[in-house]
Structure 1
Amino acid sequence: MLMIIHRLHLTAEERQTLEGWQKKYKKQSPKLRQLQIVLNSDEVTGRRPAGELAPVLGVSTRTIERVRCQFCQEGMGMFEAKARKTRSDKKIDGRVEAHLTALLCQSPPDEEPRWKLQVLAERLVSLQVVAHISTTMVRRLLKKTNSSLFTAPSNG
């Protein structure tokens, strides 16, 4: 297996910034460990080998190599906050709830006495109200609106 050695050369400004950031993280923070790995991997002040650094920081040598590689690729940007992904249930807004309520006001398909969760979910997708929606999310929306116009799945 070919091992690539990543050499880090921090400027005085970068080193000072990283040392300042060390104070803002809690002791067990993953970001603090990354900072410590980068600071101890600096060629200018004396690089410590991964085998020597790993037991001191309580991480594996692979983690040290991975952090060094990430710093070489991203630089100081690796310490910036990453954008959080929006949960799918947060994409459900009042518009979807209004469409669901409107569907419930219509008569159910196939001579059924009540709407089924799966049919409601499929109908919302076919009307292109949402790209996809689970029956669980439909159930939550109905519970939120206190609607009793559907048939909940039975456990038997």
Structure 2
Amino acid sequence: MNKKYSVCLTPDERLFLEGICRKGMHKSRKIRRAQVLLKSDAGLTDEVIASEVNISIPTIERIRKRFCLEELTSALEEKPRSGPPPKVDLRVETEVVALVCSSPPNGYDRWTYELLKREADQRCSKKLSKSTLRSLLKKHHLKPWKKRCGAFRT
């Protein structure tokens, strides 16, 4: 059967893909996509590629199509997935980190989740849940309750 999108790799692209397959330091999906492109370039049929790489024929066709219409990197990488936007944007995140790194209010020796949540709700434009606040602190490796004043960075 004649393929609609045929893969013709340059020597540099071939070396790049072989490096991905050989090193094994990438995600398994990326390695499989690289194997599909290399085997397609070698002239193997979709059925043979599907059995060797353990991937479906429609997926092979999509990988080849993305390589031909876009570029090598887009054929290897995953497309962004749809879904809800992040709960906290960079501006709010920066405000919270700055708050954590500042001194706690008068009368308090250190920050607590409750105190941080109350102050963040007053200062920031968006109300944050305790779990969102906890995730932000974890993301930035901040443990403000471990130090008397300000944040303690691990």
TM range (shorter): 0.5 to 0.7
Contact 1:25/1:31 (<8 A) preserved = no
Cα deviations across residues 121-144 of structure 1 (Å, max 9, x unaligned)? 431324xxxx56333244686x94
CA distance in 2, matches of 1:116, 1:28: 41
Structure 1 residue 97 and structure 2 residue 96: aligned?
A: no
Q: Which residue of 2 aligns with 1:69?
A: 65
Residue of structure 2 aligned with 1:51, choices 47, 51, 67: 47
Q: Which consecutive residues of structure 1, in runs of 5 or more, have no partner in the other structure?
A: 81-87, 107-114, 148-156
SS at match of 1:146: helix
State how 1:3-14 maps to structure 2 within 5 Å.
5-14=4-13
Identity of aligned residues (%): 29
CA distance in 2, matches of 1:144, 1:89: 21
Contact 1:8/1:41 (<8 A) preserved = yes
Q: Which residue of 1 aligns with 2:14?
A: 15
Residue of structure 2 aligned with 1:134, choices 129, 133, 152: 129
Contact 2:46/2:57 (<8 A) preserved = yes
The alignment's TM-score, normalised by the length of structure 1, stands at 0.53
Cα deviations across residues 36-69 of structure 1 (Å, max 9, x unaligned)? 1001112xx42x3323321221111122122212
CA distance in 1, matches of 2:28, 2:134: 38
Larger radius of gyration: 1
**What letter is aligned with 2:49?**
L
SS at match of 2:145: coil
CA-CA distance at 1:95 after TM superposition? 1.3
Q: 1:5 to 1:134 in 2, by over 3 A?
A: farther
RMSD: 4.3
The alignment's TM-score, normalised by the length of structure 2, stands at 0.53
Q: Which residue of 2 aligns with 1:29?
A: 28
CA distance in 1, matches of 2:62, 2:53: 14
CA-CA distance at 1:89 after TM superposition? 10
SS at match of 2:71: helix
Q: 1:27 to 1:21 in 2, by over 3 A?
A: closer
